[in-house]
Amino acid sequence: MEVFVPQEHAPGAEAEVDFGEVWVVLNGVKTKYHLFVFRLSHSGKAIHRIYPTRPRKLSWKATSKRARSSAASRPSSEPGRGAADDAVGDG
């Protein structure tokens, strides 16, 4: 049996935030980088940022605020609430 549950998200009401690792080959050298992903739930538009190091303490609010400001010029991207997965909390 296949089940489909449609989800509805108001424009700008929420976003998903996640961190991960990505391997990049630069000048022939395989190097690990840290990937930040911010995805708007309504439109599905996403912003990805790659950092050479992951700070010991990174505020996802500050990082997602930068992502939201980048997305602000795009339709349906009003700041709202975020859902963090594996993100380091504020403090």
Taking a C-beta distance cutoff of 8 angstroms, is the pair 67, 35 a contact? no
CA dist 2 → 5, 6, 7, 8, 56 (Å):
10, 13, 16, 20, 43
Q: What's residue 61's pLDDT? A: 62
pLDDT value of residue 1: 92
Q: Please report, in tens digits, the pLDDT of each residue of the chain (91 residues total).
A: 999 998 888 988 888 888 899 999 989 999 999 998 999 999 999 999 898 887 666 555 666 666 666 655 444 434 455 555 544 443 3
pLDDT at 63 (0 to 100): 62
Q: Specify the pLDDT at position 2.
A: 94
Short-list 91, 89, 83, CA closest to 38: 83
Q: pTM for the whole thing?
A: 0.56
pLDDT computed for residue 28 by the predictor:
96
Inter-residue contact 19 to 36 (CB < 8 Å): yes
> Please, which residues have CB within 8 angstroms of residue 41's CB and are 6 or more apart in sequence?
7, 9, 13, 14, 15, 16, 83
